[in-house]
Amino acid sequence: MNHDHQGVFCPAPSEPVAGPSSAFWVVVMGVSGCGKSAVAQLLAQTLGLPLIEGDDFHPPSNIDKMQRGIALADADRADWLLILGAELARCCDGAVLTCSALKRSYRNTLRSAVTDLRFVHLAISPAESLKRVAQRPGHFYPPSLVASQFEALQDPAGEPGVLCLAGDAALATLVQQAHVWLGRTNATCAE
């Protein structure tokens, strides 16, 4: 796990962080297999922001459960979400985080860590998610859990600060759409 986010650290505050006016924080969210990691990596790179890979912060007990085909409960995710919020807050100039953020309560936990948190939701079908997850050899998340993600998903459309995109679009297209939405239209994205 690489917790050194390019040396951009602040003390973890108890109140939401309000960074410089140019700072912003983005969560790339969605069900397993939607492309969170690929989109977040290119988005962070093109924006010059640190990337926080949410899966890197799961405790061993969560990973063990998922490897055994047991879906995580709200209680399993509670401390993990608080840790992710603290990681966002440590990045004073902004950051890009990958996190499924399936439920509104999960998103609100993250929102409590930094002001004006944005979410880019990569929406895909259950069939596409299952296909993609089955093609990830060696990943701890098994295809048998895909259905549970869709059962837990509370569509974020209509919530403030959320951009919903078709997760089956080309990577460069998704990142460019996020740039436009974030008001960063001068960045170029190449796959």
* pLDDT, block means (10 residues), the chain with 191 residues: 34 42 86 93 96 95 90 94 97 96 97 95 94 77 84 95 96 96 64 45
In residues, how long is the chain?
Answer: 191
Return the pLDDT at 83: 97
**Domains annotated on the chain, with CATH:** 24-182 (3.40.50.300)
pLDDT at residue 86, rounded to an integer: 97
CA distance linking residue 37 with residue 52, whole number of Å = 10
* Secondary structure letter of residue 161 according to DSSP: T
Closest-CA residue to 94 (of 25, 16, 183) = 25
